[in-house]
Amino acid sequence: MKPADFLRIPVFFCIALLAACTGREPGYETITVDAPFDMEPIRLHIFPDRDFDITDYGAVPDGVTYNTGAIAAAIEACSDAGGGRVVIPSGRWFTGPVHLRSNVNLHLEEDAVLVFSDDPEDYLPAVMTSWEGMECYNYSPLVYAFGCENIAITGTGTLAPRMDTWKAWFGRPEPHMEALRDLKTMASTGVPVDERRMAVGQNNLRPHLIHFNRCGNIRLEGFSIRESPFWTIHIYMCDTGVLRDLDVRAHGHNNDGVDFEMSRNFLVEECVFDQGDDAVVIKAGRNQDAWRLDTPCENIVVRHCTINAGHTLLGIGSELSGGIRNIYMHDCDAPGDVHRLFFVKTNHRRGGFVENIYMKNVTAGSMLRALEIDTDVLYQWRDLVPTFETRLTRIDGIHMDDVYCGKADAIYEINGDEGLPVNNVHIGNLHVDTVRYFIGEAINVQDFTVENLTYDLFEDSWDPEDPEYLNNKAKYWK
């Protein structure tokens, strides 16, 4: 034991004693979350009562002046002083990437708008990030933190990137696809992450809007998001936090609302999502990269949220090679159209596991499927790169209860793998007003129970040989 380790012992016991006596650790508040699995209380940092206004560091709210340096200076001063709030006052503040540091709360006051540049050169030098489950060095996310503790974005202002360049990058021309082939090959063959340099040439790998990487004690609360280059909020290999009262709207390509990847112990509540892709997504890395990191995504509760638009209300995967367990979504509403309420997706390259996933007390409008589990989802990767190694995903414990749907093409569809069937799936108290195609199909499933599944009208109006039916199946079912 190092000498410094002896100094840590009495401090640890003093903190534990104080927490036991008062219910609060010094500098932290705790939130106890009800869930159908053991979940330790969430610890949230209480920031010091110190403000660092970006105007004191030269920022100008004219929507034109490049304020990146001023914001960075305020963040540095705040962190060096021991923490507090970096205040973005009312106004339109043009900026490049914002890199947070430990103990910093980026506070967006009412009518404050951070307008992010869409010039890729502003997001260099490249930083360590990930692209769809594979680690690499890419353009900086618009808001980025790496290895930080006690970080937050709060207030009622807005993050609003300019989108012209990123929209031009939404397409996937051959140079972009070649870059994905290269990244996938590097990740699958053990090339070190610091050699995977992707922010070059015409690779066009778009940056995340918010990407927190290997951080702890995170608070995102109260603000709005309007559009995003790529995944909107990406919580990657992080521990403990709350996302509360967010208003997220982004309808571009790959615009997931929030992606938790290889992270643990988070609460999402009272948020509104309006997405061009999945709304709430749980991930755990892709294939060899995730097997190397060996970090499951676990203990995440989503409650009292509204999803106005999205492909999936709750998505599990398809990047899940590190394993996913203990996820609970309850008392949420999706009044419009979604493709699927609850979607577990993987393929024969992923490995990993999915266990103890719960959805309860959800109301929704129109959808393709209420519950879908598919073990053969490869998207463009099916023919883009070969299978370097086959590992099947163990799926055990999928629970869906007390759900109301207005209209569904089908209530459930489960496509398990013959080599490792899906196990222990339960649907209970699920009602659909109108079923359009079929009630449900399930193959390669063990211990599948359905209780009190009801519907008012079964249209059965589609001919399985009808080209429109087949086109819809090809487009939406995979």
pLDDT band at 13 (very low <50, low <70, confident <90, very high): very low
DSSP 187-239: HHTT--GGG-B-SSTT---PPPSEEEES-EEEEEES-EEE--SS-SEEEES-E
Which pLDDT does position 23 carry in this prediction?
38
* Comparison of pLDDT for 463 and 166, the residue scoring more: 166
Structure tokens at 227: 């559009």
Q: What is the mean pLDDT of residues 317-321?
A: 97
pLDDT band at 6 (very low <50, low <70, confident <90, very high): very low
SS3 category, 344:
strand
pLDDT reading at 324 higher than 90: yes
| Beta-bridge partners for 364 | 334, 405
Reported as a single tens digit per residue, the pLDDT across 103-154 is: 999 999 999 999 999 999 999 999 999 999 999 999 999 999 999 999 999 9
Which pLDDT does position 459 carry in this prediction?
81
pLDDT band at 90 (very low <50, low <70, confident <90, very high): very high
Reported as a single tens digit per residue, the pLDDT across 24-43 is: 445 899 999 999 999 999 99
pLDDT reading at 60 higher than 80: yes
d(CA 112, CA 90): 4
Reported as a single tens digit per residue, the pLDDT across 166-191 is: 999 998 899 999 999 999 999 999 99
Reported as a single tens digit per residue, the pLDDT across 355-377 is: 999 999 999 999 999 999 999 99
d(CA 361, CA 162): 37
pLDDT band at 463 (very low <50, low <70, confident <90, very high): low
pLDDT reading at 478 higher than 50: no
Nearest to 344 by CA among 390, 394, 277: 394
Task: Report the 10 Å Cβ neighbour count for 164.
Answer: 10
pLDDT reading at 19 higher than 70: no
pLDDT reading at 21 higher than 70: no
Reported as a single tens digit per residue, the pLDDT across 145-164 is: 999 999 999 999 999 999 99
Which pLDDT does position 18 carry in this prediction?
34
Reported as a single tens digit per residue, the pLDDT across 202-247 is: 999 999 999 999 999 999 999 999 999 999 999 999 999 999 999 9
pLDDT band at 468 (very low <50, low <70, confident <90, very high): low
DSSP 59-95: ---BSSS--HHHHHHHHHHHHHTT-EEEEE-SEEEEE
Q: What is the mean pLDDT of residues 400-410?
A: 97
pLDDT band at 443 (very low <50, low <70, confident <90, very high): very high
Reported as a single tens digit per residue, the pLDDT across 64-82 is: 999 999 999 999 999 999 9
Which pLDDT does position 382 carry in this prediction?
82
pTM tops 0.85, yes or no: yes
Rg (alpha carbons) of the chain, rounded to whole number? 23
Which pLDDT does position 162 carry in this prediction?
98
Which pLDDT does position 4 carry in this prediction?
36
Which pLDDT does position 26 carry in this prediction?
56
Mean pLDDT of the chain: 92
* Comparison of pLDDT for 19 and 128, the residue scoring more: 128
